[in-house]
Structure 1
C-alpha cells in the first residue's frame, strides 16, 4: 500500500523563501496579524491529518466505492469516510480560510491551498466532499442575499452542511447553453425545479446532515443559450427559519456513475422532481454567478493533480531505491548485491525527476496564484486589486490544464518506474493514474481551458494581463540576469518570454482572418505559457537556493532544488520548441479533411 509524507519543507521553502508569503499577506487588512509560526503550525497539523487520518482510507475506499440504495436514494460512502469527515469538522478545518463574520478563522486562501494539496495527495476522492463546499460558500458569499448568507454560510463554514454544483446534463456536457432544467416561479417567491443532471460530484452522501445544491436552470421566459440561465439554491433538506432541517426536498440521486477512478467519491445522476429552490443573484445571470464556484473548482482541480503527482513521486522514488534490476551501464554501483537499485539507471531518473519537477513547479505556481487571489480579495488598493484579479484570471486556465496534463504524465511515469508491479492494484500506483485522468476532463476540459486562455484571457483583452505578467518576469530577469551563476536559468527564461510575446501577436493576427486558428493553436499555446510560468518559478527557486548555499547553508534541500531546476531547464523546457512550431503550423492540416473521410 502506498505511503505519504507531507512535503512540509518544500511548502515552507515556497511560502517563506521564494515568496515571503507572510510579508505579502500582512500588507492586506484581514491578515495584518499573520506570522510565520502560525503558518508553520497549520502546515504541520494539516499534514498530520492528511497522512494519519485520510491517507489510510484511500486504497480501501477505491476498492469499496460508494453504494446507492435505489429505494431510498441514499448513498453510502466507503467505510471510514464519515468518521474522517467528522474529525475534519471537529478540527475546524472547513473554517480555515473563511470569513470570521460567518464563523470562519479568516486565514489566507494561500494557507488553505497548502492544506488541500496535502489532502489531495492523501485521498483525492475523500477531499472532493469538503472541497466542493468551498466553492458553494464563495458563490453564495458573492451573490447570495443577506438572508441566504445568514442561513447557509455559517453551516457551510462549520462543515455541518456540504455543497455541490449541479451544472451538466446528459445532452449538453460543457455547452451549458443547451441545458433544459426548468424553474417555475411559485407564489411564495420560491421556484419549482424539474430536470436531470449528471456527473454531479458529491451529489449525495452520508457525511453531512444537509447538502446545498447550486443548480443551473431556465426560467419560463428565459432567452435561449447561455444568456438564459439562472442559478438556484436547492438544498437536500429544506431549512427551517432557525436552520433546523425540514422536509426532504425532491432532489434525488437516481444513479451512480461507474467510473475509471475516484471511486470513493459519489458521482451522481441527479433528478429534480419539482424540487424547491431559491434564486441566487439576478434572473438569467446564473452562469456568471456560478463562475465564482467554477473558477474556484478549476484551481482546486489543478491542486488535485499536484497532490497526485507528489504522492506518486514519493512512492516511486522509494521503490527505485529498493528495487534491484541489472547493473549500471558504467559498472556496478552495489557490488555487494546481485544487481543495482534501479535508481542508478538514467531513464528511471528521468521519470522520477520529471514527476518531481512537475510537483515542485506546480506547488510554486499554485502558491503564487493563491497569493494573487488573496490580494484580489483583500487589498484596499483599487489598482493592486484589479491587477491581481487580471493575474488570477490569466493563470486559472493554466493551473487547471497545465497541472492536470502534467499530473497524468507524472503519475504514468511513476507507475512505469514500478514496471509490471505498477500495473498491479496492491502497489497503489495504478489508482493514482486512474484518479488523475478525470482531472483533465471535468470543470471544463483542458481544451476548453486552452481556448479560454488564448481566446479570452490573451486575445480578448489585447494581451493586457499577459503583458503585465511578462513585465514582472522581465523586471526579475533584469535584476538577476547580471549574476553569472544565474545565466543557465535566466537566459532561457528571457528567450521564452520573447517567444511567447511573438507567438501571441502572430496568433492574434491569424485569428482576425480565421477564428479556427485559435482552436488549432490553443492547446499548444497553453502548454507554452505553462512552461513560461514554470521557467520563471524555477529560476526564482534556483536564485534563492544559490543565495542560501553561498551564505554557508548545508541544508540538502537547496542542493536538491538546484538539481531539479537544472533538470527542468535541460529536459522539460525544450518541449516548448516543438509546441511553438506546432502552434504556428496553422489550422489547415486539421480542417482540410472532409468529415466523411474520418
Structure 2
C-alpha cells in the first residue's frame, strides 16, 4: 500500500532553474553535449525503471530479507532483486557516469545523483548494491594502476562485478588506527590478506559473477596507527594481471546481520584467510585512496536520506488528503462529507510542511554537491577545481549527516500523519522509518561527521570552505537587495550568515583554550550550519521560481514553503547556538561513576 512516484518536476526545477546546470555543462569540457533535453530524457527513463521495476519490490524485500547458507557462506537476495539488477545492467544504468574509456557513458555526476535519489526512494535495500560499486569505480579511477582498471574497473562498469568497502573490524569502528588485518607480500607481487571485517554492505550476494572488496590492511613493516594502513583489492574470485577470473579466493562470508531495516541489503561479516589481494595506491597510504571511495559513499548516503524523505512525504500527503477526521477549526471544508480531510488541521500541516521544506531544500543542496564533483572532474582550470574541492570538502559532512538526520525527523512526522495506521506494516510507513534510522549510522555516524566538519574541515583549514559558502550567500543577498519580493528571505539569510561566521570564530577561540570544546560543540555546529545552508537554497529556489516559466501554483508553493522554513525551522539555529555557547563543562564535569 506504500507508493512512490519519481519527483520529476522538482528534479527538473532544481537542475535547470535553481542550479542552472545546462549553463555549467556548456562550460565544462566533455559535457557540452549534455543539454536540458538529454537530462530530461534520462530522468524520464530512470523514473520508469524505478517505478516499474524497483518500487514493487520495496515491501516484499523487507518481509523476505536475505538468505544466508552457513554451509558455503553464500547469500541469496530477495526475490526479484537479481532480475532487477540484470535489467539495470542491460539498460546501462551502472555505467551512467563512468568514463567512456572503461565502458561508461561519462554523463555528469549530477544526473547520476538524480537517478540515485529515485533508486533509493523506490527501493533502498536494492540501491545499496550498486552504491559501493560507484565508490569502487572512483577509487580505481583515481588510484589504481592501468592493469587494475582494466581487470577490475571495467567489469564493475559493465555490471559483471560489484564493489565493497571493507574498513570496520570487531574491535575497531571509526578508530581505523586500531585495525589488525594484515597483508603479507607474495612472490607474484600480490599479497595474502588475513583478517575479519564486519558491517560490509553487499559483501556477499547472488547478483554478479564476482565481488571486488577494497580492504584496509597493514603490511608487515607498517608503522602504527593510521599512517600504517594500505588498501588492497581482494576479489571473491581471483583475478590476475591479465584480467582473467580464476578460482575461488580465500574470502568468505561468515554471517549476515539481522538488522532493524534495509532487510534486502546483505550486511556481512567477511573473513579473509590469506586471500589474494593487490595493493592499490602507495604502501601505507591506503586511507587517501579509501577516502575517495568513502566520500563518494557519504554523498550517496545523503541522497538516500533525501529519497526516503520524499517517499515518506508523498505517502503522508496522499493519506492526509484522503483521511477524514473532525472538522476544521474555522468551519467545515468538505461540506458533502461527514468530516474534513486531516490536511485542514494546523498540526498535520506542520508535519507535512516540515517534510516538504526539508526534502525539497535538501534536493538543491545534494545536487549542488554533485555539481561540484563535476567541476572537480571536468574543469580545465586548476583554481576552479581547487575552489570546488574545498567547498565540497566542507559540504560533504553536512550533506551526509543533515540529510539523514532530517530524514529521521521527516519520516517520523510522515508516519505520525497516519496515526495508528502508521505503525501497521501494511501501510509501509514503519519500514521507511526503520530504513531511514540506519542511514545516520553507516558511512560515518552523525557524531563523526560533525567532528569532521568542525575540527578538520573548518578549524584546521582556517575555514576555507566556510568562507566560500559565506561568499555565495553575500553575493546572492547583494544581487537581490533591491528586490522587494525577496526581502523577507534576504534579511534573515544575511543575518544568519554573519552569526554563523561569528559563532565559528568564538568556537575556535574557546577550542584554543580547551580542546574538548570542539567535541562539545560539533553536533550543534553541524545542525546550525545545515540550517543556514538550507536557508540559502530555499532563498535561491524562490528567486529561481519567480524568474522562471513555472506555473503560478508552483511558484506560490515554493514561496509558501520557503516562508515556513524561514519562520519555523531556521530559528532552530538559536537553540543550537545557545547549546554551543554553554560550553563543554556541562558535558564533561560529571564524574564517570556518577552516571
TM-score by length of 2: 0.99
Deviations 1:80-131 (A, max 9, x none): 0000000000000011111011111010001000000000100011001011
Local SS of the residue matching 1:333:
coil
**Are 2:590 and 1:593 aligned?**
yes
The structure 1 segments of at least 4 consecutive aligned residues displaced by more than 6 Å after TM superposition are none
Matches within 5 A, 1:138-537: 138-240=138-240, 243-537=243-537
In structure 2, relative to structure 1, the CA distance for the partners of 1:205 and 1:100 (3 Å cut) is same
Contact 2:124–2:304 (Cα < 8 Å) also in 1: yes
Instruction: Tell me which residue corresponds to 1:118.
Output: 118
Local SS of the residue matching 1:187:
coil
Give, in whole Å, the separation in 2 of the partners of 1:516 and 1:555.
Answer: 51
Give, in whole Å, the separation in 2 of the partners of 1:25 and 1:528.
Answer: 32
TM-score by length of 1: 0.98
**Residue 575 of structure 1: which of 562, 572, 575 is its match?**
572
Of stretches 484-493 and 80-89 in structure 1, the one that deviates more from structure 2 is 484-493
Deviations 1:219-259 (A, max 9, x none): 11111111111100000011255544211011111001010
Give, in whole Å, the separation in 2 of the partners of 1:239 and 1:359.
Answer: 43
Matches within 5 A, 1:553-568: 554-568=551-565
Give, in whole Å, the separation in 2 of the partners of 1:292 and 1:163.
Answer: 14
Instruction: Tell me which residue corresponds to 1:3.
Output: 3
Local SS of the residue matching 2:271:
strand
Structure 1 alignment gaps of length 5 or more: none
Local SS of the residue matching 1:50:
helix
Deviations 1:354-386 (A, max 9, x none): 111111011000111111111011111011010
Local SS of the residue matching 1:198:
strand
Instruction: Tell me which residue corresponds to 2:544.
Output: 544
Q: How many residues align structurally?
A: 595
1:547 is displaced (CA, Å) by 2.9
Give, in whole Å, the separation in 2 of the partners of 1:468 and 1:38.
Answer: 31
Give, in whole Å, the separation in 2 of the partners of 1:244 and 1:281.
Answer: 21
Deviations 1:149-187 (A, max 9, x none): 111111111111100011101111111111111111111
Matches within 5 A, 1:10-159: 10-159=10-159
Give, in whole Å, the separation in 1 of the partners of 2:514 and 2:336.
Answer: 66
Contact 2:211–2:235 (Cα < 8 Å) also in 1: yes
Give, in whole Å, the separation in 2 of the partners of 1:510 and 1:333.
Answer: 55
Deviations 1:14-66 (A, max 9, x none): 11111210110221111122111100000000011111100110100000000
Contact 2:147–2:241 (Cα < 8 Å) also in 1: no
Give, in whole Å, the separation in 2 of the partners of 1:306 and 1:546.
Answer: 24
Give, in whole Å, the separation in 2 of the partners of 1:155 and 1:547.
Answer: 45
Contact 2:150–2:243 (Cα < 8 Å) also in 1: no
In structure 2, relative to structure 1, the CA distance for the partners of 1:12 and 1:351 (3 Å cut) is same
What do you get for the CA RMSD once the two structures are aligned?
Answer: 1.0
Give, in whole Å, the separation in 2 of the partners of 1:330 and 1:473.
Answer: 40
Contact 2:148–2:241 (Cα < 8 Å) also in 1: no
In structure 2, relative to structure 1, the CA distance for the partners of 1:382 and 1:286 (3 Å cut) is same
Give, in whole Å, the separation in 2 of the partners of 1:469 and 1:335.
Answer: 50
Of stretches 358-367 and 334-343 in structure 1, the one that deviates more from structure 2 is 334-343
Give, in whole Å, the separation in 2 of the partners of 1:459 and 1:533.
Answer: 18
Contact 2:231–2:287 (Cα < 8 Å) also in 1: yes
Local SS of the residue matching 1:261:
coil
Structure 2 alignment gaps of length 5 or more: none
